[in-house]
Amino acid sequence: MTIDLASKSLRLRHRTKCYAGIENIPQLSAQEKLFLRRVTDKYPFRANSYYLGLIDWDDPFDPIRRLIIPDLQELNGWNNLDPSNEQSVTVGQGLQHKYSTTALVLTTEACGCLCRYCFRKRLFMPGNEEARPDIDLALAYIRRHKEIDNVLLSGGDPLVLSTSKLEPILEQLREIEHVGVIRIGSKMPAFDPFRITNDPDLLELLYKHSHPDQRIYLICHFDHPRELTDESREAIRQVQQAGVICLNQNPIIRGISDEPEVMAELWKELTKMGVSQYYVFQMRPTAGNEIYHRSIVDAYFRFEKAKAMCSGITKRVRFVMSHASGKVEVIAVDDNYIYIKYHRSKEPTDDYRIRIFHRDDNAHWLDNLEEVTVS
């Protein structure tokens, strides 16, 4: 594989600086740092110079700022740290097997930056070892379970790993005959696109293992159109050039990605880049996240309004919840009811199941809804 000269010039011109403490952010006042330290003592903070540079610091409601800078309201008591009960489907250290054909490997407990609304923020908290898998045991499990035909590398963020650490994982997965698809879930194209454009070895690795009949999928996480900078677009272009198929998924987040016009703009720009919007999620009701939530009904109608602004190729996206019982699509809301359908289910009896609930405009999660009973 060859990298063209334009890519090389982009690759060589920038390196990011990481910030692991809120007190190191120069744009925040001393008083802000003092207050926000109360939040970061509970829910860790991490950012980098590239991503902080996208913030309009004169705007206290700037969506990029809201995504990465802590808010005191995160300390409001609300729900728990594992609302989808991932613990119940964890079959080994850092290995989840919720759906029969899919294995999910938590490759690392690190991310390029930390989203304030993260549904796995527990991984970054002191004393948590959930995302430190034994890769050999995980691969052995996948080899034994021949029903697994696709593997999702997640975390944390797999692209935080060095290419030398990522290489043996991809190589061994490619040696397993029944694994046809490898997915890599990553926000690094948004958080630090130079992780991709600075590393030709990573691109070579992806090119080596993304075959015409066995593609690697990069599941990106762009939340807002302003994340689609020249640098992030170049990173996506280079990954696509390496034979990887890129998709995008993100949650509806209050003050960041909840305006229909913002959603539609993001989807349209991604479509022009050859990146399909895959899912839009109802945010999981994780501890500390109440400030970022929209109700199911509110989110659904915002989502549908955004779809109405898009052509067919852009509006293939689905509005879903990653519930403990499965991947649930909200297919309709009328004056009286909320209608959902299972795309993937933990239990075979829920496959393709449609459920109807009484409409509740204040409900944030499936567990808050009352199902309609048929007498």
pLDDT of residue 133: 72
For the record, the structure tokens of 17 come out as 């600086």
Query: pLDDT tens, 74-100?
Result: 999 888 999 999 999 999 999 999 999
Q: Max Cα separation, the chain?
A: 69
Domain tally, the chain: 1
Cα angle at 373 between 369 and 375, to 5 degrees?
A: 170
Query: pLDDT tens, 30-57?
Result: 999 999 999 999 999 999 999 999 999 9
pLDDT of residue 12: 44
For the record, the structure tokens of 236 come out as 């996506």
Alpha helices in 186-345 (DSSP H): 188-191, 194-197, 200-209, 230-241, 260-272, 296-308
pLDDT of residue 127: 77
Query: pLDDT tens, 258-298?
Result: 999 999 999 999 999 999 999 999 999 999 999 999 999 99
- The answer as to whether 374 is a domain residue is no
Beta-ladder partners of 337:
358
- The answer as to whether 373 is a domain residue is no
- The answer as to whether 116 is a domain residue is yes
Lookup result for tokens 């996240």: 289
Report whether 289 contacts 283 (CB < 8 A).
yes
The enclosing domain of 353 has a CATH number of 3.20.20.70
- Count, residues in the chain: 375
- Domain ranges, residue 72: 5-368
Query: pLDDT tens, 132-166?
Result: 778 889 999 999 999 999 999 998 899 999 999 99
- The answer as to whether 64 is a domain residue is yes
pLDDT of residue 82: 95
- The answer as to whether 99 is a domain residue is yes
For the record, the structure tokens of 259 come out as 């305006």
How far is residue 260's CA from residue 253's CA, in Å, rounded to a whole number? Answer: 12
What is the three-class DSSP state of 93?
Answer: coil
pLDDT of residue 14: 67
Report whether 109 contacts 46 (CB < 8 A).
no
CA distances from 303 to 58, 310, 330, 367, 368 (A): 29, 11, 11, 21, 20
Q: Which amino acid is at 251?
A: P
Report whether 314 contacts 303 (CB < 8 A).
no
Mean pLDDT of 346-361: 95
How far is residue 278's CA from residue 264's CA, in Å, rounded to a whole number? Answer: 13
How far is residue 359's CA from residue 90's CA, in Å, rounded to a whole number? Answer: 33
Q: Calculate helix-pair angle for 200-209, 163-174, nearest 10 degrees.
A: 0
Lookup result for tokens 């190729």: 313
How far is residue 287's CA from residue 310's CA, in Å, rounded to a whole number? Answer: 34
What is the three-class DSSP state of 301?
Answer: helix
pLDDT of residue 15: 77
